[in-house]
Structure 1
Amino acid sequence: MRDDFLNIRHIEPDDCNAIFEVPSDWWGSNYSSDMISKWYIHHFRDTCLLAEENGKMAGFLIGFLSQSEPNESYIRIVMVDPAIRGKGVGRALYEEFFKRVGMLGRSVVRCVTAPGKKDSIAFHTRMGFIIEPQEQEYEGVPVFINYDGRGGNRVLFKKVLQKMENH
């Protein structure tokens, strides 16, 4: 994918209906969360990104700045159209998120994935994330048990951003 065909912008509340429709097609299952909602986009707009290829939604990233940890930001969910995975859309969304949160004074980015998602684990490590050590492992990968309080086990990632040079 050539960068000149990919546009990354803020998600707008009007984009939400299109975003609500893609999880079942893009993930192969329904995704039910209030993280994909107009109120969330309204309040965290600066860190919610939409990638478009030739005017068509190619992917999105929903993240936020931590209010409890003033140096940290969190990527909550990322989805990329499976028809164009492997072409740099996810990387471009993450890099834009890193740039924006860095400009907002954050130097740590955190995110999680399910322990069975080998492609996601590989992607995050290629993006420079480290897997945070845990007491439990799943197939050799450190896993935080019951991460969400509802039985969901997750691999926890952390990335320390390089300081931006002022030139």
Structure 2
Amino acid sequence: MKLRYIETEDCGAILEVASDWWGSNYSSDMFSKWFINHFRETCLLAEENGKMIGFIMGFLSQTKPDEAYIRIVMVDPAWRGKGVGRALYEKFFKNTEVLGRNTIRCVTAPRKKDSITFHARLGFSIEPQEQEIDGIPTCLNYDGRGGNRVVFKKLLHN
């Protein structure tokens, strides 16, 4: 498996697979050339024999100078459970650490139990919230559009 930066010419291929890999309709402005032009160092793609098998997209916080945020990660369903996601996260951690960040944040939906378990295995902790869904601390209306999310935090150094 090869990890590399996402390039602007990869945007079309990402758009083509995003909904299938996500399991429902998925579209995002992040899958665009402008996002890659501005956040290239925190956007990585995994390939096997020249075929895209996963990607991670994030950015460095402008407001919190010690933090980076992982916005989206997708892995080809045929490659899940084979270390692709872990490799992408670990490379993201290294890249953001070099760029002076020590805290990584990301979210997932409370119904995505496999994602919650995966993040815990990578050393993320769940941020406390006033509410819980199915016993999991959950930020209600996280995105301002009604989306509830489990909020994760990982310190690269203690």
TM-score, normalised by the number of residues in structure 2: 0.98
What does residue 36 of structure 1 align with?
31
What does residue 64 of structure 1 align with?
59
Task: From 82, 88, 100, give the equivalent of 2:83.
Answer: 88
DSSP 3-state at the match of 1:15: helix
1:49 correspondence with 2:81: no
> What does 1:90-109 correspond to in 2, within 5 Å?
90-109=85-104
1:147 correspondence with 2:111: no
What does residue 124 of structure 1 align with?
119
**Structure 1 position 47, deviation (Å):** 0.6
DSSP 3-state at the match of 1:35: helix
Aligned pair count reads: 158
1:19 correspondence with 2:9: no
DSSP 3-state at the match of 1:142: strand
Please give the alpha-carbon distance, in whole angstroms, between the structure 1 residues aligned to 2:28 and 2:144: 15
CA RMSD, 1 decimal: 0.8
**Structure 1 position 162, deviation (Å):** 2.5
What does residue 135 of structure 1 align with?
130
Amino acid at match of 1:158: K
Is contact 2:15–2:27 with CA below 8 Å preserved after alignment?
Answer: no
Please give the alpha-carbon distance, in whole angstroms, between the structure 1 residues aligned to 2:31 and 2:115: 20
Percent of paired sites with the same residue: 72
User: Unaligned 5+ residue runs, structure 2?
Assistant: none
Please give the alpha-carbon distance, in whole angstroms, between the structure 2 residues aligned to 1:38 and 1:149: 26
Amino acid at match of 1:108: T
**Structure 1 position 54, deviation (Å):** 1.4
